Structure 1
Amino acid sequence: MSFVTKDLLINFLFILLALFLVQMFYLIKYAKKIHWWKDRYIAVFPILAIIFCLLFPVNGAYVPDDYRMDLRRIPYILGTLYGGWPLGSLLFVFILLLRLLIGGYDVGFLSTLIALPILSIPLFFITKYFLHFSLKNRIIVSTCLSVIGSLLAMLVSIFVLHVTSIPISVWVQFAILDVAGMFVITILWEAIRANLLVLQRLMKAEKLEIVSHLAASISHEVRNPLTASRGFMQMLQEDEKEPAKKRYISIAINELDRAKEIIDDYLLFANSAPERNEKMNISEEIHHVTHIMTPLANMNGVAIDFTFDEEVKFFVMGERRKLQQCLINLFKNSIEAMQNGGTLTVKVTKEGGAVIVDIIDTGCGMTQEQINRLGEPYFTTKEKGTGLGTMVSFSIIHYMKGKVSVSSVKGKETCFSLEFPLCE
């Protein structure tokens, strides 16, 4: 094994170390429930990998002293693809500054100064769509970018800066290890992301299971005395003559009604599995819910944009009442998110063997951390919410063998995308 291969393998180990630290970061965060550890802190780990790669470059007779050959592009490319353009911009500036600080204004820095911006053009363009690609396509894209980065480094060095002392065999070793390293690191990172996703779902499932048992055991017993208390208070209100006492009784009745709504949500969550499956045209159900929610939308200055086409029929299996309840909850959340008015857009499309329902509002939006916690009991972004409505909706979608994904831009819009299997 040549010195070039050994030095590049050491670089690869430094990148693996940073990846291991990322995994430990997330495991500790979720296991210990350390909420002040933000996801943006993972920017530290690609920065560490870049530092170690630049500090321990290839050493050998074939590589000039003023030129550094290393695998810094791997953490740069992956950090940009998974962290987005803000992290990519930070890494871009950091690489240039650190390279200038370590080696000065030499031929190696000029190579980086020319090749890195050229590589960054397609990289920054792709990063907007990268996380929406399939796993296979993400691996292919990251590997292709590594190939482009290796070729750029070689071509700029040889044909622009005339660095001819490095043999082609060394360039070949570098390109092979750079591309192979990118391929392996991408697969490992995807495995870590999948494990973390499973961990999040397990933690959320534990919470929901506790809530489900609680709902099934005490909800009926609590609702009955609430109903009786409300009835007697109504009788007192009718007989009461003093306006002040009448107003106090009215407030108490309203609070009892709110408590009853919470209990009803618990009951619906505990029994969110469909009692009877029936074939439904999902466009008709959305049209029905739109009519129900129109008065609330008008009160909040919100226009509901949904075009109902009787010719287009997408059938799904489930219980009509519970599907309507799910849509009402999501519509209500979207309308209340638009405090200054706006437009609630509903789209129904078909993709393969599934029907996609997109519910898009022009409200206040959410951060990624808030999106990750959606569906947890008592987590809400509203001042007077409980989070139970969203929890119930997600549970109904799950029992209908559907999927829900949420995308949002803070201060601009939020999109709830519901995917249900088609029933032909």
Structure 2
Amino acid sequence: MILCIIKPIKLDIGFIFDLRYIPFIIVALFGGRKSVFPLYIILNACRFYVGGPGMLESFLFSTGAFILIPVYSKTFLKLDSRGRVVAAAAIAFLTMGCYLATLSLILGVSDRQFQTLAWNALTTYVGVISVIMILIEKILINFKNRERILQSERLKVVSQLAASVSHEIRNPLTVTSGFLQMLQKSATITPEEKKFVDLSLQELNRAEKIVSDYLSFAKPQSENLVYSNMIDELEYTKNVIMPYASIHAVEVKFSFSNSLRIRYDRNQIQQCLINIYKNGIEAMKETGGGILSIDVAERKQHIVISIRDTGIGMTKEEISRLGKPYYSTKAEGTGLGMLMVYSTIDKVKGVIEVESEKGIGTTFLITIPVSDR
């Protein structure tokens, strides 16, 4: 942007032309007002340094762009890849169109040469910003694909580990638990010793739960596969979680409007949904209750499940680490619950998107494609 201002294109008809607003528009759309503010300062500082006529007009126009363009940022970020390219091109066209119209009114020119300049300026702005946006979207797609591949590799490693280790660990745990239960019923142990036995059994149960979580990665899907629109699973998991929600003053809102069907493992989908519900309720437990909203809909051959809570929320760093082995936002968590969620959705070729804000809440958006078959 600095180079554009310092070294503009000087036209024979007396005007100068540059592409200073292209980086300005892109940063304003992707980053919002806070991110584009440094560019706003730099743009005007460079323009005053260059000097010459039109400084005030440039300042006023850049201020208008600084105020208006970031307003569209949140809507812009929710668009798909193609939508963002089209939106950025349209905003560049409108921005340059307003600039040229203002310039025409101030200078009082509208001859053929100015019209030619205006047409070339508009097409150049739209063309350049479209090319840059396409490159940015390609980079973002490559980044997401890389993350997806890394996540698949992690799930594969955990699945192999689960298959080879979990069964061998569960057998000695079961035997030890049985002997401790027999010892617990003995009349010869003291109350202090009984307390130690109780603590040991609690820890064994916790170890059993961790092993069960591991086993969920290696379970064969052929045993429990169903072909359905998921209504039974969603109704079942909602009913299962209701008592837990009531205890923590959480209201559950449920809506279902989906006719699309997919093939999936019933038990794993149920456990996946319960894990997300439970995390949402526990996040609201610290705020004294809240609302857990479960919304299921169909959209362009995709089943979209939205699970929203009004809990404590997460930071961007915490969101980026979700689904990684042994990472949990809870003090006593193992991270295997969310890893199981990501593994289950990955098996049905789905995608999980997480939006969260500290003190506001978290939304899990699960999008599952439906095959034509």
Residues 403, 202 of structure 1: alpha-carbon distance in 2 compared, 3 angstrom cutoff: closer
Superposed CA deviations along residues 103-156 of structure 1, whole A, max 9, x for unmatched, are 35x533222223234444552232111122222221111111111222222222
**How does 1:104-253 map onto structure 2 within 5 Å?**
104=51, 107-120=53-66, 122-160=68-106, 168=114, 169-239=116-186, 241-253=189-201
Report the identity percentage.
34
**How does 1:10-409 map onto structure 2 within 5 Å?**
50-59=1-10, 62-63=13-14, 69-100=17-48, 102-104=49-51, 107-120=53-66, 122-160=68-106, 168=114, 169-239=116-186, 241-271=189-219, 273-306=221-254, 315-338=261-284, 339-340=286-287, 341-409=289-357
Partners of 2:191 and 2:3 in 1: CA distance: 76
Give the residue type in structure 2 aligned to 1:174.
A
Contact 2:292 2:309 in 1 (8 A): yes
Task: Report the CA distance between 1:182 and its aligned residue.
Answer: 0.6
Give the TM-score normalised by structure 2: 0.88
Residues 275, 63 of structure 1: alpha-carbon distance in 2 compared, 3 angstrom cutoff: farther
Q: Cα RMSD over matched residues? A: 2.8
Greater shift in the superposed pair: 158-167 or 273-282: 158-167
Partners of 1:365 and 1:272 in 2: CA distance: 34
Superposed CA deviations along residues 238-274 of structure 1, whole A, max 9, x for unmatched, are 3263333322222222122112111111110122645
Task: Report the CA distance between 1:74 and its aligned residue.
Answer: 0.9
Number of residue pairs matched by the alignment: 368
Give the residue type in structure 2 aligned to 1:132.
K
Q: Residue in 1 aligned with 2:368?
A: 420
Secondary structure at the aligned position of 1:267 is classed as helix
Give the residue type in structure 2 aligned to 1:78.
I
5+ residue gaps in structure 1? 1-49
Contact 1:306 1:345 in 2 (8 A): yes
Give the TM-score normalised by structure 1: 0.78
Task: Report the CA distance between 1:213 and its aligned residue.
Answer: 1.5
Superposed CA deviations along residues 343-402 of structure 1, whole A, max 9, x for unmatched, are 111112222333322111001112233223222111222221121111111211222333
Residues 273, 62 of structure 1: alpha-carbon distance in 2 compared, 3 angstrom cutoff: farther
Give the residue type in structure 1 aligned to 2:103.
S
Give the residue type in structure 2 aligned to 1:130.
F
Task: Report the CA distance between 1:327 and its aligned residue.
Answer: 0.9
Task: Report the CA distance between 1:170 and its aligned residue.
Answer: 4.3
Give the residue type in structure 2 aligned to 1:228.
V
5+ residue gaps in structure 2? none
Superposed CA deviations along residues 193-230 of structure 1, whole A, max 9, x for unmatched, are 11111221222222222212111111111111122122
Residues 153, 423 of structure 1: alpha-carbon distance in 2 compared, 3 angstrom cutoff: closer
Partners of 1:164 and 1:97 in 2: CA distance: 30
